[in-house]
Amino acid sequence: MPHTLYRSGNLIIMVKLPKSHPRYLSLKTRELLVNGVEEGITSKAGLIAHGRGEMFDYLIGEETIEFAEKAERKAIAEMLEAENPVISVNGNVAALVPSGIVSLADRLDAKLEVNLFHRTEERIEKIEKKLIKNGAKKVYGKRAGAKIPGLDHDRALCAEEGIFSADVVLIPLEDGDRAKALKDMGKKTITIDLNPLSRTAKTADITIVDNLVRAVPNMMKFEPMYDDLDNDKNLRNTLDHMYNRLKHLSQEVRP
Ligand code: PTJ
């Protein structure tokens, strides 16, 4: 039975995670993020963001629904057709899917750039090292000579050859403000965000409402979709799916 140690000051809390636990996968995913914080890769705010994501995943049914699959397939096509596709990596992505995101960049012939909302040089370096350990040959982001216009502070910093000059950017779990600033630069934006109501979800050209831990492996195996995708309609369908599921669940609790 795997054990997890949580250290909090002098306190060591031992949590046993039996594989038979009905929430095993969800608990393992949390464990990756807690480890990410301890390693100095994930921000504490990343834990809060994940909690919000989990809530929406619950409403979806913790599976890849057809509308997410469509968006994933369209995203693959857009990235494959792009001239300079870039995948933006933050502290949550690096903790949850370090090898998956490197393989995806390989498949899509995309650059990887560490681009943080809560930017520190130390975190950038640690994430870069983690990606290289997982097989990345080159990681952008440490040398950030360009700025995303319209954003203040360090979250505007990006690499000239990376996000700054990208035509298509995959921005998983992105802050709404920056997603809009990237769009304002004329870039095609693709997000992976479990909250279909977030500003990022509404701003992006393609919104994948799926858990990052499912979306990335899916995007490794799905075939590209070259047909048009109506992103707003896809989002409406996703919300309807949640609404119908809740209606169904409410029936179940009635006597
Ligand atoms: O590492 P940093 O400093 O770049 O910070 C990264 C976070 C994620 C903390 C930062 O970008 C942030 O604060 O993001 P937001 O504004 O909280 O948005 C994160 C979005 O991702 C929310 O809409 C969540 O519902 C969603 N989300 C959280 N976990 C997942 C997710 N979507 C897909 N898969 C997840 N596992």
d(CA 1, ligand 1 centre) in Å: 30
Is 196 near ligand 1, meaning CB less than 6 Å away? Answer: no
pLDDT in tens, 146-192: 999 999 888 899 999 999 999 999 999 999 999 999 999 999 999 99
Domains of the chain: 3-60 (no CATH), 66-226 (3.40.50.12640)
Q: Is pTM, for the whole model, over 0.85?
A: yes
The SS3 call for residue 147 is strand
CA of 22 to the centre of ligand 1 (A): 25
DSSP label at residue 95:
H
Is the pLDDT reported for residue 87 higher than 50? Answer: yes
Q: Is 193 in the pocket of ligand 1 (CB under 6 A)?
A: yes
Reported as half-sphere exposure (CB side, CA atoms, 13 A), residue 97 has a value of: 24
Q: Is the CB of 234 under 6 A from ligand 1?
A: no
Ligand 1 geometric centre to CA of 168 (Å): 20
Among residues of the chain, what percentage have pLDDT more than 70? 93
Q: Please return the burial class of 177, using the count of CB atoms within 10 Å of its CB with bins 0-12, 13-18 and 19+.
A: middle
Mean pLDDT of the chain: 93
In degrees, to the nearest 5, what angle opens at C-alpha 96 toward C-alphas 140 and 101? 45
Reply yes or no on whether the pLDDT at 9 is more than 70: no
Residue closest via CA to ligand 1's atom 19 equals 173
Q: Alpha-carbon Rg of the chain, whole angstroms?
A: 18
Q: Between these two residues, 81 and 16, which has the higher pLDDT value?
A: 81
In whole angstroms, give the CA distance from residue 113 to residue 144.
10
How far is ligand 1, taken at its centre, from the CA of residue 46, in Å? 6
pLDDT at 26: 85
